[in-house]
Amino acid sequence: MSRKNFGAKPLMYPQPVLIIGTYDENGVPNAMNAAWGITTDFKEISISLSDHKTTDNLKVKNAFSVSMATEDQVVACDFVGVVSGRKNPDKFKQANFHATKSEFVDAPLIDELPLALECKVKSFEDGILIGEIINVSADESVLTDGQLDIRKLKPISFNPFDNKYYGVGEEVGHAFKDGLTLRER
């Protein structure tokens, strides 16, 4: 096998497209697109963020939501990543997003995005936001037999090589099961 070297790149597949929801000091919802995030423990998420309206809001409210961008909302989700909340305070509304206040944290749930992590800020230093996951909520439309169904959710992934979004969701195996066949040999 021949390999091509690309140097240091921000590459991890799939790279989820996360939409961070916050309220400002007046209770106005804001959303931003963040592609560099990962769960780092059972009840913890880490997201790399530079200075934005969202980071201002995090300092005020100490809470946020994280929604997975979906295929049917790709335009709105991209929009909240290319337009500044500082320059356009109505970008949430302009994206045709609607907010419902979380019952668990002082942050908006984006009605159009059916899956959300509801989080409290644990720390925010050197551009790394660490949040404690207080609750995960999902719209009934993305559940099968009471469980999250990725085929119904239709999350998207970001490819930093071509700056495009891709769908995710094809089943290819069973976790914690398929590998056991090698042990039995």
Indicate which CATH number applies to the domain containing 134.
Answer: 2.30.110.10
What percent of the chain clears pLDDT 90, i.e. is strictly above it?
Answer: 81
Number of domains composing the chain: 1
Query: Has residue 2 been placed in a domain?
Result: no
Query: Has residue 56 been placed in a domain?
Result: yes
Query: Has residue 174 been placed in a domain?
Result: yes
Query: Has residue 4 been placed in a domain?
Result: no
State pLDDT tens for residues 11-66. 788 889 999 999 999 999 999 999 889 999 999 999 999 999 999 999 999 999 99
pLDDT at 184: 66
- For 91, other C-beta atoms within 10 Å of its C-beta total 22
Label residue 106 exposed, middle or buried (CB < 10 Å: 0-12, 13-18, 19+): middle
Helix (H, G, I), strand (E, B) or coil at 118: strand
On average, the pLDDT of the chain sits at 94
pLDDT at 9: 80
pLDDT at 49: 93
Q: CA–CA separation, 23 vs 118, rounded Å? A: 13
State pLDDT tens for residues 140-171. 999 999 999 999 999 999 998 899 999 997 88
User: Which strand (E) or helix (H) includes residue 56?
Assistant: helix 53-61
Query: Has residue 173 been placed in a domain?
Result: yes
Query: Has residue 179 been placed in a domain?
Result: yes
Amino acid occupying residue 95:
A
Q: CA–CA separation, 184 vs 136, rounded Å? A: 37
Mean pLDDT of 2-16: 86
Helix (H, G, I), strand (E, B) or coil at 13: coil
pLDDT at 185: 66
Residue 96 · residue 10 · CB < 8 Å: no
Query: Has residue 6 been placed in a domain?
Result: no
Give the phi and the psi of residue 167 in degrees, each rounded to 5.
-75, 160
Q: Is 126 left (phi over 0), alpha (psi -120 to 50) or beta?
A: left
Residue 27 · residue 170 · CB < 8 Å: no
Q: CA–CA separation, 89 vs 144, rounded Å? A: 37
* CA 70 vs CA 17, 22, 60, 146, 179: distances in Å: 8, 19, 28, 20, 30
pLDDT at 130: 98
Give the domain range for residue 98: 18-183
